[in-house]
Amino acid sequence: MTDTTRPDRRLMLVHAHPDDEALMTGATMAKYAAEGAAVTLVTCTLGEAGEIVTEDLAHLADEGPDALGRQRLGELREAMAALGVTDFVRLGGDHRFRDSGMAWAPDGTATVADTTDERSLHAADLLVAADELVPLVRDRRPQVLITYDQFGGYGHPDHVKAHRVATYAAALAAVPSYRPELGEPWQISRVLWTAMSASQIAHGIATLDERGLAGVLDGIPTDPSSPMLSGDDEIAVEVDARDHAADKLAALRSYRSQLRADEGFLSLPDDLAREFWGREHYRFAGGEPLPAGGPAADVFAGLG
């Protein structure tokens, strides 16, 4: 793609597994894709170690990890169609880095599993993994990169590694002398981290209580001090994509192996789903600062 044919706004997102992008950034992706921005999704693994939640797909567990990976790749394709995103790739290609699995820590966050596949993303050398992302950054030339914070959102080792890979690759991609065979250098203008707004969660839970739906968000952290939540002073961008909440829900429902479409947070009434799923939040992690005066409404705000 030449500079004259590139969309003026270009967004890259780096996520760990299929479905992570829809859960955390799906409305944002749908909004910018609909507005004509270039949206590139890089998924680091195919989620081969995920838990299968639907009985009709339980047989995949007996067919080896690649079987679930293939299933989730198909689900990813369906989800991207729902979001209107056409540029989605796997880091290094399908099955290059495998899902590392995880264990639950006593505090309710995720941690490294007792055993980890040597081919997993967690076990991969950081530079080796970053070198798979550098050419994508140099080719797509995004102004904005979105990935997880240093905790990976909730501690999953693949989320943490995706954060590290994205951060390292963004720096390396800008260095002219670093592996020029991987493309012309590109400096990403702004890096954002996904965030869960503590105040939005509190408001959502209060609203659900009023409607007699308190159990719908079981498992969502409520303690403002949780490392999984961000305070209002940490939120740099709030994307209002309520008009694309239905697209996000359609994408989430594509992940039949991972999510039950008629249970939990996917069963919210339409009016609540629009409010809960249609606003996504980000922290500023580096590059060109956002305009002063509170959370920006646009991830590209202030960029030339």
Give me the pLDDT at residue 263, please. Answer: 78
Give me the pLDDT at residue 2, please. Answer: 44
Q: What number is the average pLDDT over the span 214-223? A: 78
CA distances from 257 to 74, 121, 252 (A): 11, 21, 11
Q: Is the pLDDT of residue 128 over 50?
A: yes
Residue 270, domain member (yes or no): yes
Residue 152, domain member (yes or no): yes
Q: What number is the average pLDDT over the span 228-244? A: 97
Domains of the chain: total: 1
Residue 221, domain member (yes or no): no
Structural domain including 36 reads: 7-197+230-287
What CA–CA distance (Å, rounded) separates 178 from 183? 10
What CA–CA distance (Å, rounded) separates 276 from 26? 12
Residue 82, domain member (yes or no): yes
Q: Is the pLDDT of residue 123 over 80?
A: yes
| Each residue's pLDDT tens digit, 245-292 | 999 999 999 999 999 887 778 888 889 999 999 999 999 999 999 999
Q: How confident is the model at residue 1 (pLDDT cuts 50, 70, 90)?
A: very low
Q: What number is the average pLDDT over the span 126-132? A: 99
CA distances from 23 to 57, 119, 163, 255, 281 (A): 21, 26, 17, 11, 12
pTM above 0.85, yes or no: yes
User: Could you tell me the sign of the dihedral formed by the alpha carbons of 234, 239, 244, 248, in that order?
Assistant: negative
Give me the pLDDT at residue 4, please. Answer: 53
What CA–CA distance (Å, rounded) separates 296 from 299? 7
User: Facing residues of 293 across strands?
Assistant: none
Give me the pLDDT at residue 304, please. Answer: 78
Residue 299, domain member (yes or no): no
Give me the pLDDT at residue 68, please. Answer: 96
Angle at 84 between CA 78 and CA 87, to 5 degrees: 85
CA distances from 241 to 43, 80, 114, 188, 298 (A): 22, 16, 39, 24, 10
Give me the pLDDT at residue 86, please. Answer: 99
Q: Is the pLDDT of residue 16 over 60?
A: yes
The one-letter amino acid code at 15 reads: H
Give me the pLDDT at residue 224, please. Answer: 85
DSSP characters over 42-101: EES---TTPPP--GGGGGGGGS-HHHHHHHHHHHHHHHHHHHT--EEEETTSTTSSB---
Residue 33, domain member (yes or no): yes
Q: Is the pLDDT of residue 244 over 80?
A: yes
| Each residue's pLDDT tens digit, 65-114 | 799 999 999 999 999 999 999 999 999 999 999 999 999 999 889 999 98
Q: Is the pLDDT of residue 5 over 80?
A: no
Q: How confident is the model at residue 3 (pLDDT cuts 50, 70, 90)?
A: low
Residue 193, domain member (yes or no): yes
Q: How confident is the model at residue 6 (pLDDT cuts 50, 70, 90)?
A: confident
| Each residue's pLDDT tens digit, 147-159 | 999 999 999 999 9
100 in Cβ contact with 158 (< 8 Å): yes
Q: Is the pLDDT of residue 222 over 70?
A: yes
Give me the pLDDT at residue 144, please. Answer: 99
Give the rounded percent of residues in the chain with a pLDDT score beyond 90: 82
CATH at residue 47: 3.40.50.10320
Give me the pLDDT at residue 108, please. Answer: 86
Residue 205, domain member (yes or no): no
DSSP characters over 103-142: EE-TTS-EE--SS--TTBTTTS-HHHHHHHHHHHHHHH--
